[in-house]
Amino acid sequence: MKISARNILKGKVQKITTGAVNSEVLILTDHGEEIVSIITNQSVAHLGLEEGKAVYAVVKASNVMVATD
């Protein structure tokens, strides 16, 4: 796999919550952080996602917002 994104975090699918159109995929990284991604149910099926499967969370964004109280 070659990809232009620089933020690639290895982990495992911890939980998949399926909705009518989209699924919420909770990934636990190898460093213990949790990342949540919302993807289509079709993508979940295409990728063969299931709890415990090794995956990569790939983050590519044009900006990241930071806020404080």
Report how far apart, in Å, the C-alpha atoms of 65 and of each of 14, 37, 61, 62, 68 are.
Answer: 26, 17, 10, 10, 10
Whether residue 2 is contained in a domain is answered as no
Contact 8, 57 (CB under 8 A): yes
Average pLDDT rounded to a whole number, residues 41-63 = 93
Whether residue 1 is contained in a domain is answered as no
User: Total structural domains in the chain?
Assistant: 1
Distance CA 10, CA 29 (A): 6
pTM, two decimal places: 0.85
Domain hosting 47: range is: 7-59
Quote the distance between the C-alpha of residue 65 and its chain's center: 19
Residue 65: band (very low, low, confident or very high) from pLDDT cuts 50, 70, 90? confident
17: CATH: 2.40.50.100
Residue 14: band (very low, low, confident or very high) from pLDDT cuts 50, 70, 90? very high
Whether residue 39 is contained in a domain is answered as yes
